Amino acid sequence: MEKIIDGKIISQNIREEIFSKASAFKASTGIIPGLALMIVGNDPASEVYVGMKAKTCEKLGFYSLIERLPETTSQEQVLAMIDEWNNRPDIHGILVQMPLPKHVSDMEVIKRINPDKDVDGFHPVNVGKLVAGIPCLQACTPAGIMELLKRSNVSLKGKHAVVLGRSNIVGKPIANLLYQKNKDANAIVTICHTAAPDIAYYTRQADVLIAAAGAAEIIKRDMIKEGVVIIDVGTNRVEAPDTEKGYRLTGDVDFNDVYDKVSLITPVPGGVGPMTITMLMYNTLEAAIMQSR
């Protein structure tokens, strides 16, 4: 039986659904979903991610713009740009790529974005709605994980889901989505983090393990239960001198070590990764639809 959850295929299917829905929306309203992207500084990884986001917009027929601001940009200047985008009717989604320079506060920037345009789902209003089970723009990676589970027919009801990691981008929102009382969730959730004296004590109990610790291949076969479903959110660079780039990407899970013990697993790359941008596109379209009403 196929054990691999293929994020590329699932992502492609969702992109086709988004394309159809966006085309119908465009035909009936004349509105083209628009996404504004900001990078502050010269982080090469951020440049790659933002480039991929803009390219995906183009493929789906969305409008996008990229604002590249120098490392020395003040917080006031960043906030002024957001104010401008908040007021532009052709921009439905705003994304400020993290990390930001140290002199710019992530939270001040996130708080300035109109929650209706917060396609990252990071604004406290959207975080609060998510916790309360109110429909909202959801953080892209967690929303993508829920889609992977749903489309792989993983039933979560009454299952023990263990989340490794407590970041605002992944750990906290995915934990909150997993226990919600709805047909696609309803799991029993444990959040495990760096203060745990022995993470294996928790991971061994998992029916579904969400690994978002950001540490390369820390999950080994003796740390999991037979038949577990593993979602590996890690994208860690490890040195690989014999490769062209000098590094390879690997997850938080030792894939080869655990493979014969799991019932399903996402690979890295090609698992969660492609879903993040797909859900960003989903959010941008939903934001455009919401703002047209």
Active-site residue numbers? Answer: 53, 97, 120
Q: How far is the CB of 231 from ligand GUN (least distance, A)?
A: 16
Q: Which helix H or strand E contains 36, and what residues bound it?
A: strand 34-40
Are the CB atoms for 217 and 203 separated by under 8 Å?
no
Going by DSSP bridges, is the β-strand pair 63-69/93-96 parallel, antiparallel, or unpaired?
A: unpaired
Which parts of this chain interact with ligand GUN (CB under 6 A)?
A: 95-98, 120, 140, 169
Q: How far is the CB of 147 from ligand GUN (least distance, A)?
A: 15
Helix, coil or strand: residue 86: helix
Nearer to ligand GUN, 119 or 223 (CB): 119
Q: Which helix H or strand E contains 293, and what residues bound it?
A: none
Nearer to ligand GUN, 26 or 129 (CB): 129
Are the CB atoms for 174 and 145 separated by under 8 Å?
yes
For the range 258-262, what are the long-range contacts, defined as Cβ-Cβ under 8 Å and sequence gap of 24 or more?
258/219, 258/220, 258/221, 258/224, 258/230, 259/3, 261/221, 261/224, 261/226, 261/227, 261/228, 262/3, 262/224, 262/227, 262/228, 262/229, 262/230
Q: Which helix H or strand E contains 212, and what residues bound it?
A: none
Q: How far is the CB of 157 from ligand GUN (least distance, A)?
A: 28
Q: How far is the CB of 200 from ligand GUN (least distance, A)?
A: 28
Q: How far is the CB of 170 from ligand GUN (least distance, A)?
A: 9
Are the CB atoms for 53 and 284 separated by under 8 Å?
no
Short-list 135, 122, 119, 147, CA closest to 275: 147
Nearer to ligand GUN, 109 or 224 (CB): 109
Q: How far is the CB of 139 from ligand GUN (least distance, A)?
A: 7
- Look-up of token digits 């797909």: 278
Nearer to ligand GUN, 116 or 120 (CB): 120
Rounded Cα–Cα distance for residues 104 and 255 (Å):
37
Short-list 148, 175, 151, 187, CA closest to 276: 148
